[in-house]
Chain A
Amino acid sequence: MFGYYLDLALRSLKRNKALTVLMVLAIALGIGASMTTLTVLHVLSGDPLPGKSGQLYYPQIDPQDIRGMDPSKEPPEQVTLIDGLNLLRAGRADHQALMSGGSVPVQPEQSSLDPFYVEARYTTADFFAMFDAPFLYGHGWTAADGEAKAREVVIARSLNDKLFGGANSVGRTLRMAGTSFRVVGVLDSWQPNPHFYDLNTGSYAYGEQVFLPLQTMLELRLDRNGSSDCWGNGGGGVGNILPSNDCVWLQFWVQLDSPAKAAAYKEFLVHYSQDQKALGRFQRAPNVRLRNVMQWLDYQMVVPDDVRLQTALAFGFLLVCLVNTVGLMLAKFMRRAAELGVRRALGASRRALFAQLLIESGVIGLVGGIGGLLLAMFGLWLVRQRPSAYAALAHLDLSMLFTTFVLALCATLLAGLLPAWRACQVTPALQLKSN
């Protein structure tokens, strides 16, 4: 029966080419626009570390002075150096890392290369294990090396390619900011999107080229980038001057393998705040947060407003296209009242007619979906030409490809329901008589 209905549907669609093209076009445009924006939204709100992000938490504590205190306010989004080091050394989590970003000048040995700047991450040792950063050669530095302010560096694969021709450079020397560093590891291509562990760098398509121990950076006073929020008489944070103790400017991440551990850690943060208040360092009542990666990204609203707006607009457009299709299908089905009347008179049930008409709308949906897919690919190509940082990430993946067809098919079937029902209401006798 399905094959027969399909045949009928194709014949009917061929009979009225203009109307069919109009319907397919409307569906394709609507699907194309919504899939383009939905794909961008999907890419941007994706999980940077699938499988791991649920165990990574970003503790927030409130070290600010009493001025402007409001218990309902969120604590600062970063930590001070003192708190960061305290929490780090407390070592209450399965892994923990304190970090900040910056840029350092690289002075290559080759005379053919001019000195250039690279993005740097200053971090403590657990960073690599905690974020599952893949090593191509070597490994990270140890916590002891970090504390000893070792002149050790982990470099990204692209920098390794540029400086060492892609060879295993572990043990080689890299001169940066007038200091010689020993390469201890080379990371394979690794760029979590969004750049969740430090969103000050821009949320998307940002990757560091070198990773240095934080303590080494503190000693060498390397240039720091990123935000610093100060209160009271806090200041600094310009160029190589470190922000003062009344400033938050570091990111602190912990790995907690179970919800129980997370609850215990939150408890620990409250105790820590109380202790610091007793010591006179903190003035406010404990105000702590412990968000995991996805909660943190959500709270930081990393997905640009524009992208959300575009998605909303595109779905508004799809709705208009669908209403349009409903109208056109109604016209098309009603025009065939006579034919449907004959079929009814010959014994076809209403259900059979309904199924036949729905299959016809399904065919339109499928063709519209293919058109929409092509349009979405074109749309994403257009997105990639745009100047935004996330532009390069806009690619259709398999799940989105599947979603496109499901969306197109469901949308047109939904659009076909009303016209099909209406057309099934024909009274066979009346239709036969008028002919």
Chain B
Amino acid sequence: MQIQPILAALRKHRLATILITLEIALACAVLCNACFLIVNRVQQTQVVSGVDENALAALKLTGYDPTRGVDLNARVLDGLAKLPGVQSISAINQVPFGDHAGTAGITTDPDGKHFGGVVDFFVGGPGSFKALGVQVVAGRVPQPGDYQPVDFFVPDDSAVWVTRALAEHLWPGADPLGKEFWTGKFHFRVAGVLAHLARPYGGEGGPSTIEWSVYVPAQPGAQLAAVYLLRADPAQLPRVLRDARGAMATIAPDAVLDSKASQTIGTLRENYFRQDRVMAGILVGVITALLLVTALGIVGLASFWVQQRRRQIGIRRALGATRGDILRYFQTENFLIVTFGIVLGMLLAFALNLALMTHYELPRLPLYYLPIGALLLWALGQLAVLGPALRAAAVPPVVATRSV
């Protein structure tokens, strides 16, 4: 197939060619960036929490008399442990994807000069460490003696477990075991390193801080009450949670169950990422509509060209061109136009990406999106032109002898 005559013909239809090229280019730019946004959103929802999500649920009470926290803990821990199916029940201040309760800035020196960032403290009572199912990659697991009473917020001086991500941030390259850090008067010494533990509300400093978590063993008490971590067999968890929620009315009639926060970790996770899933869905919708409109535009213009060139097609057929030749002519023509559009579109895609980067927290568009976008548009173009091209191929040679 010779390209020269096709280009010559396109020069005759400069305006229409430019329009389709422009349309393809715009579609290419929006397509690449929208796909990139979708992948970004989906990646965000794939956060590893580091805990056994499908076996855990949280229970949260409010409205109790704060001076009677010890009594409340005793009743709840005792009462729920007796429920059939409960593998463990423990006090904790917060759970991944739940309400956050222990966020504070830390320093790596006692004078508070070297700021280490804002981290989340998971303050958990006996049993909570095992129940969470966090993976220890270095150091030991908490011993009964590590669980100390809390006067305010956290124990004054405690052995803690930090995530690998936080350790790498605070002491890059060094062995974190035995390292110390402070928040106000509270002192912490690292006794172990956890593979993963996501903080309840993600990181305020962006996605890289989502695992800046510290596990602090502590004794349940007035300052560590009213939020409980329930562990059960994953298959039975919904039923056990339902029973536990129901049992609270008799175990703790003086408190109000916070039903939004008293869910399985799986449900909390789903609610937490709902917004992102909706946004991804909207983006998919935009892409579909965009491709549809682009395809319809190609069909419309190609049909017009076929009709306009009926006589020429007839002449070519009379001079010996086969149906295949005509079909290939229109397909090649479309391929050329789409290619022009893609070249222009790639530049636009990068420009759009730069604009998005300045307004939103978004990384640079990876290069491999461009060939994928190009393939998709080529396929779309070929598909859209097929109908009109087939109609063109069906033009009989006899048309050449008629004057329209």
A107: min CB distance to chain B, Å: 10
Contact with B293, one of A26, A239, A314, A332 (Cβ below 8 angstroms)? A26
Confirm or deny: A233 has a beta carbon within 8 angstroms of a beta carbon on chain B.
yes
Q: Are A387 and B274 in contact (CB under 8 A)?
A: yes
Q: Are A320 and B26 in contact (CB under 8 A)?
A: yes
- Chain B residues with CB under 8 A of A308: 359
Q: Are A115 and B30 in contact (CB under 8 A)?
A: no
Q: Are A386 and B278 in contact (CB under 8 A)?
A: yes
Q: Are B66 and A313 in contact (CB under 8 A)?
A: no
A154 CA to B136 CA, complexed, in Å: 53
Confirm or deny: B297 has a beta carbon within 8 angstroms of a beta carbon on chain A.
yes
Confirm or deny: B290 has a beta carbon within 8 angstroms of a beta carbon on chain A.
yes
Q: Are B286 and A323 in contact (CB under 8 A)?
A: no
**Centre residue among A29, A33, A327, A418 by max chain B CB count within 10 A:** A327
A319 CA to B292 CA, complexed, in Å: 14
Contact with B along A313-354 (1 / 0, CB 8 A): 110110111011011101110110000000000000000000
- Chain B residues with CB under 8 A of A241: 152
Contact with B along A94-107 (1 / 0, CB 8 A): 00000000000100
Known contacts A317-B30, A387-B275; is-contact A328 B300 (Cβ 8 Å): yes
- Chain B residues with CB under 8 A of A179: none
Q: Are A331 and B278 in contact (CB under 8 A)?
A: no
Q: Is the interface of B mostly helix, strand, loop or mixed?
A: helix
- Chain A residues with CB under 8 A of B289: 29, 33, 317
Known contacts A328-B300, A334-B304, A387-B278; is-contact A238 B153 (Cβ 8 Å): yes
Q: Are B307 and A335 in contact (CB under 8 A)?
A: yes
B127: min CB distance to chain A, Å: 23
A383: min CB distance to chain B, Å: 9
Interface stretch of the complex, out of B14-22, B168-176, B393-401: B14-22
Contact with B297, one of A309, A313, A327, A388 (Cβ below 8 angstroms)? A327
Known contacts A327-B19, A327-B297, A330-B16; is-contact A116 B256 (Cβ 8 Å): yes
Contact with A along B355-391 (1 / 0, CB 8 A): 0100110000000000000000000000000000000
Q: Are A320 and B30 in contact (CB under 8 A)?
A: yes
B359: min CB distance to chain A, Å: 7
- Chain B residues with CB under 8 A of A320: 23, 26-27, 30, 290, 293-294
Contact with A331, one of B153, B185, B300, B360 (Cβ below 8 angstroms)? B300
**Centre residue among B26, B279, B297, B356 by max chain A CB count within 10 A:** B297
Contact with B along A299-316 (1 / 0, CB 8 A): 000000110111001101
Confirm or deny: B6 has a beta carbon within 8 angstroms of a beta carbon on chain A.
no
Confirm or deny: A25 has a beta carbon within 8 angstroms of a beta carbon on chain B.
yes
Confirm or deny: B322 has a beta carbon within 8 angstroms of a beta carbon on chain A.
no
- Chain B residues with CB under 8 A of A310: 279, 282
Q: Are A418 and B15 in contact (CB under 8 A)?
A: yes
**Which B residues between 271 and 294 are near A, CB-CB below 8 angstroms?**
271, 274-275, 278-279, 282-283, 286, 289-290, 292-294
Contact with B along A27-41 (1 / 0, CB 8 A): 001100100000000
- Chain A residues with CB under 8 A of B299: 22
- Chain B residues with CB under 8 A of A334: 304, 308
- Chain B residues with CB under 8 A of A68: 115
B310: min CB distance to chain A, Å: 12
- Chain B residues with CB under 8 A of A52: none
A317 CA to B185 CA, complexed, in Å: 56
A163: min CB distance to chain B, Å: 17
Q: Are B62 and A233 in contact (CB under 8 A)?
A: no
CB closest chain-B residue, reference A221: B66
Q: B residues within 8 Å of A by Cβ?
A: 15-16, 19-20, 22-23, 26-27, 29-30, 34, 37, 62-63, 66, 101, 112, 115, 152-153, 184-185, 256, 271, 274-275, 278-279, 282-283, 286, 289-290, 292-294, 296-297, 299-301, 303-305, 307-308, 352, 356, 359-360
Since A235-B184, A321-B293 are in contact, a sample of 4 more A-B pairs with Cβ atoms closer than 8 Å, ordered by chain A residue number, is: A25-B296, A26-B297, A306-B275, A331-B16
16 A-B residue contacts at CB 8 Å? Answer: A22-B296, A33-B289, A68-B115, A105-B256, A238-B153, A309-B37, A309-B360, A317-B293, A320-B30, A323-B22, A324-B297, A324-B300, A327-B20, A334-B304, A386-B278, A387-B271
Q: A residues within 8 Å of B by Cβ?
A: 19, 22, 25-26, 29-30, 33, 67-68, 105, 115-117, 232-233, 235, 238-241, 305-306, 308-310, 313-314, 316-317, 319-321, 323-324, 326-328, 330-332, 334-335, 386-388, 418, 422
The 6 closest A-B pairs by CB, nearest first: A331-B304, A324-B297, A327-B19, A323-B23, A328-B300, A105-B63
